[in-house]
């Protein structure tokens, strides 16, 4: 598994695929070693997984391994006598909620485009009911094969035929070369599969999210910040992308992996964040200000480290107030016209309802989301209070991704 994959992204997927039956197809390629972990993650997320392998795939990983991980017999022959009617290509495709080919070789992409049926997996894909059983493809091949016009032409045709191409990763390849063409990591593919099944309630929307703390420098080695981990904001960005939105995430200094399909802008200070938000808000239709932005910053950052001299004297720091990012956007012409729906966050330590109501009115936003900061900073779970001009709705304690999906659904209902 990619070490940069966030724990939130993988742990919160537990149960996301409950009740789903997935046919996992393996074709010939060294990336088959990743398919074992992918199968495990799919099962852990609640899916039942039926593995189908080409003969070439069995040269890279054994059916025994995949059977142990899926808890189901592996199919590889269209003449498999275990099926009473001897039609595994019909039976397996009719049972599936989704077919995922990972890895999908250049040769197998060509087979799918040509409608080849000389082995079980391509036959199964051709025989699937296209309107009810989607086909997702995770390509894996050498970088030169990936950019070859024949491969690109075949992928364009495969996409035109209704398949979903999940893209490729970049990095070192088994052949020793480096570039595009690697199969995506198992956790990335899991995130794509989970997202595929989520309702597309924000399709066509452009969502701007801020997340994490800001850092206000005192000198080159010290600064003022807070305990925000950014997990809630990153979960909201992921949930908005799952809901079909085009998502831009403006992130303060945090060590979290970027959610799949999300454009990320890294910033440090409140002034950096303000500049990025003002720029990207021009194209956004929804702004969700999750970041814990510093209210003040030192008026002047020292050029060199401020050292103690043994006298016991403390440095004299002067502070200036940072520009209120949420209020700035909420008071913009696009927000006033209704072209931009603004959502604020309030991390409080007490009197959550009263403070959230006051902050919503002060900022001039239609929706304010409150939580108890000390109880949630750095945690994978949270509880939220949604406050508008008329009501306060509690979202009980749950994983941050679960809450993010509930919040996204609420926003979708409000803007519709």
Q: What is the CATH number of the domain that holds 69?
A: 3.40.50.1950
What Å distances lie between residue 152 and 53, 143, 175, 184, 227, CA to CA? 24, 12, 21, 18, 46
What Å distances lie between residue 120 and 52, 84, 289, CA to CA? 8, 16, 50
Tell me the pTM.
Answer: 0.90
Q: Is residue 312 a part of any domain in this protein?
A: no
Q: Which of 173, 197, 221 is the last residue of a domain?
A: 197
Number of neighbours of residue 97 by Cβ within 10 angstroms: 17
What is the extent of the structural domain holding 241? 206-295+319-415
Which of 32, 39, 175, 342 is labelled catalytic? Answer: 175
pLDDT band per the 50, 70, 90 thresholds, residue 8: very low
The region that residue 351 occupies, defined by phi over 0 for left and psi between -120 and 50 for alpha, beta otherwise, is: left
Q: What is the pLDDT of residues 209-251, one digit of tens each?
A: 999 999 999 999 999 999 999 999 999 999 999 999 999 999 9
Whether 126 shows a pLDDT value over 80: the answer reads yes
Regarding whether 231 and 147 lie in a shared domain, the answer is no
State the pLDDT at residue 351. 85
Q: Is residue 25 a part of any domain in this protein?
A: yes
Q: What is the pLDDT of residues 314-327, one digit of tens each?
A: 888 999 999 999 99
Whole-number Å distance between alpha carbons of 414 and 175? 52
Whether 32 shows a pLDDT value over 80: the answer reads yes
Residue 125: active-site member: no
Burial of 67 (0-12, 13-18, 19+ CB in 10 A): middle
Whether 99 shows a pLDDT value over 80: the answer reads yes
pLDDT band per the 50, 70, 90 thresholds, residue 71: very high
Contact assessment for residue 368 and residue 356, using Cβ atoms and an 8 Å cutoff: yes
Beta bridge partners of 248: 208, 263
């Amino acid at each position: 598994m990619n070490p940069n994959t966030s724990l939130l992204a993988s742990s919160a997927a537990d149960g996301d695929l409950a009740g789903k039956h997935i046919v996992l197809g393996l074709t010939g390629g060294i990336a088959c070693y990743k398919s074992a972990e992918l199968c495990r993650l799919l099962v852990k997320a609640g899916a039942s997984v039926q593995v189908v392998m080409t003969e070439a795939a069995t040269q890279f990983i054994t059916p025994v391994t995949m059977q142990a991980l899926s808890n189901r017999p592996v199919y590889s022959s269209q003449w498999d006598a275990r099926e009473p009617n001897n039609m595994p290509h019909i039976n397996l495709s009719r049972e599936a909620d989704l077919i995922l080919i990972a890895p999908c070789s250049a040769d197998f992409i060509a087979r799918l485009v040509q409608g080849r049926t000389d082995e079980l997996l391509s036959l199964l894909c051709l025989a699937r009911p296209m309107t009810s059983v989607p086909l997702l493809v995770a390509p894996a091949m050498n970088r030169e094969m990936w950019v070859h016009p024949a491969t690109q032409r075949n992928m364009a045709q495969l996409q035109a035929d209704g398949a979903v191409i999940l893209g490729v990763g970049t990095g070192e390849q088994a052949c020793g070369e480096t570039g595009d063409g690697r199969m995506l990591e198992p956790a990335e593919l899991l995130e794509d599969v989970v997202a595929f099944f989520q309702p597309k309630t924000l399709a066509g929307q452009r969502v701007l999210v801020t997340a994490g703390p800001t850092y206000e420098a005192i000198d080159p080695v010290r600064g003022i910040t807070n305990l925000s981990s950014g997990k809630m904001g990153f979960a909201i960005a992921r949930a908005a992308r799952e809901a079909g939105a085009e998502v831009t995430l403006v992130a303060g200094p945090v060590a979290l992996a970027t959610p799949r399909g999300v454009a990320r802008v890294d910033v440090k200070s409140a002034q950096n964040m303000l500049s990025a938000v003002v720029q990207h808000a021009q194209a956004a239709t929804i702004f969700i200000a999750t970041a814990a932005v510093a209210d003040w910053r030192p008026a002047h950052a020292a050029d060199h480290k401020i050292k103690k001299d043994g006298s016991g004297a403390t440095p004299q720091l002067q502070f200036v107030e940072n520009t209120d990012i949420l209020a700035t956007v909420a008071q913009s012409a696009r927000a006033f016209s209704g072209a931009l729906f603004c959502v604020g966050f309030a991390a409080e330590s007490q009197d959550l309802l009263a403070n959230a109501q006051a902050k919503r009115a002060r900022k001039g936003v239609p929706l304010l989301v409150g939580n108890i900061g000390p109880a949630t900073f750095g945690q994978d779970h949270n509880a939220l209070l949604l406050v508008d001009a008329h009501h306060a709705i509690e979202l009980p304690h749950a994983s941050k991704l679960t809450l993010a999906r509930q919040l996204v659904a609420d926003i979708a209902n409000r803007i519709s």
